[in-house]
Amino acid sequence: MPGFSDKFTALPKPDRELPVLHEFFHEGLPQWLNHMGMSTGHNDRVGAFAGAVVATVVLLAMARVLTWGFQVVLRRISSKTGTHFDDHLLTQRLHHYLGRIIPLIIGFRSLPAVFEDFPGWISPLEHLFVVFFIVLVVRILRAVMKAGRDTLHQREEYRGKPLDSYIQVASLVLYILGGLAIFSQLTGQSIVTFLAAMGAASAVLLLVFKDTILGFVASLQISANNMVHVGDWIAMPKYGADGDVEEINLTTVKVRNFDRTVTMVPTYALISDSFQNYRAMQEGGGRRIKRSIRIKMGSIRFLAPEELERLKAIELLGTYIHEKQAEIEAFNREHQVDKGLLLNGRNQTNVGLFRQYMGRYLVQQPGIRTDMTATVRQLQPDEFGLPLEVYCFSSDVGFEGMERIQADLFDHLIAAAPTFGLEIFEKPASDDLRAIANNFSLRQA
């Protein structure tokens, strides 16, 4: 990387700046090798190798000590500050990377002293040290960014935001810049020259990074439009996703389904396809209950006066039946209706009273939101009977709580239907068919 490596290679030679190193590697170490009985012909090469080993051991020990020192400093700082940023710096092992900066610089400056007798090795090793330094800088920046992400995740206004997508994009940019710097360092070519050569391959790059680009654009739109947060319950039947969002990153959205399976949905699918987000339902504090009871239409009939008297004993309907019957009788007298036939005039039906009972029983349940829609309606009859649909909202938005409220409600309503002389429609079971066959056989006999 022009300019970057020059700053390293232009450093003063350590035999002038660091005389101690020069004296050790070229006077002390050769004397020790002679004392060990090494032949003079091999002193230069063995000396260089021994010097490299000694320098490596010393630098590694220095890195361990500095890493420990930075860790102690960061822990003391984090214990005295109210922010969690420094805590996350420790979690991301920033001290581990900082502890390698000084040994790396010292090692770089020691190369001419160690390999003075082999000048051809110095330049490649200097380039290698610069590559290590570039990698170290990238890892330090990523650790700082990740610590910032974790800190923002703890703040309410950023909780659920797709911060991972932004970190991944920034990391990708860092990797690209680091890769270009390493390429320039190893080849000696300018980054501008390399980028100019890559211009012809831009179409290929766009194709390779298509999902990444789409995911990044989708992440921006999701965040700007507040479409999905981590923790939202979403449903995307096209992808088999129905559960809570656990993670939003650059290319995928991780959804933990209610059957405990995990579905990975492409991030850009959230803006290109339709999906259902239940966040508003959860924030509103009401979860919809929408279920029908199907009445066998052959059991629907008018109610005789004696049946009405019997049904007045139902606490929820006593007053209603009395008032409704008075209204009906006044209408029939006014219009001089002949009540010799029950069909004539206005009458009450068992299904009508049952519908009224369902509505009154519904609003008395403690788990039903009466400030929201709570009604019982009659739907279009079909081959399965007459549907009486309960449409309301439970106060418990959790899956188990809502199911319990719904089950308790319909347990009672289904059990109450025979009191009104109504039959719940269901397809014949095997014992029903056997009973029909037995009755037919008896009639034939």
Angle between helices 210-224 and 163-187 (to 10 degrees): 140
Amino acid identity of residue 150, one-letter, is D
Residue whose tokens read 């990074």: 209
Q: Given this model, what pLDDT does residue 162 score?
A: 65
Residue 382 pLDDT level (bands cut at 50, 70, 90):
very high
Say what percent of the chain tops pLDDT 70: 78
Residue 419 pLDDT level (bands cut at 50, 70, 90):
very high
Pick the most confident of 20-29, 153-162, 240-249, 308-317.
308-317
Q: Bigger pLDDT: 108 or 157?
A: 108
Choice among 166-170, 175-179, 256-260, 317-321 with the minimum mean pLDDT: 166-170
Q: Given this model, what pLDDT does residue 8 score?
A: 43
Choice among 190-194, 239-243, 335-339 with the minimum mean pLDDT: 190-194
Tell me if 329 sits within 8 A of 308, measured CB to CB. Answer: no
37 has pLDDT over 70: no
Give dist(CA 116, CA 51) in Å, integer. Answer: 11
| The CATH fold of domain 285-300+361-445 | Alpha-Beta Plaits (3.30.70)
Residue 320 — φ and ψ, nearest 5°?
-60, -45
Which residue intervals of the chain bear CATH 3.30.70? Answer: 285-300+361-445
364 has pLDDT over 80: yes
Residue 40 pLDDT level (bands cut at 50, 70, 90):
very low
| Cβ density class 129-168: b for 16+ within 10 Å, e for less | bbbebbeebbbbbbbbbbbbbbbbbeeeeeebbbbbbbbb
Residue 11 pLDDT level (bands cut at 50, 70, 90):
very low
Q: Given this model, what pLDDT does residue 423 score?
A: 94
- Averaged confidence pLDDT in the chain: 79
Residue 16 pLDDT level (bands cut at 50, 70, 90):
very low
Q: What is the CATH number of domain 220-284?
A: 2.30.30.60
Which residue intervals of the chain bear CATH 2.30.30.60? Answer: 220-284
Model confidence over 253-309: pLDDT tens digits?
899 998 889 999 988 888 888 888 888 887 888 899 999 999 999 999 999 989 999
Q: Given this model, what pLDDT does residue 241 score?
A: 92
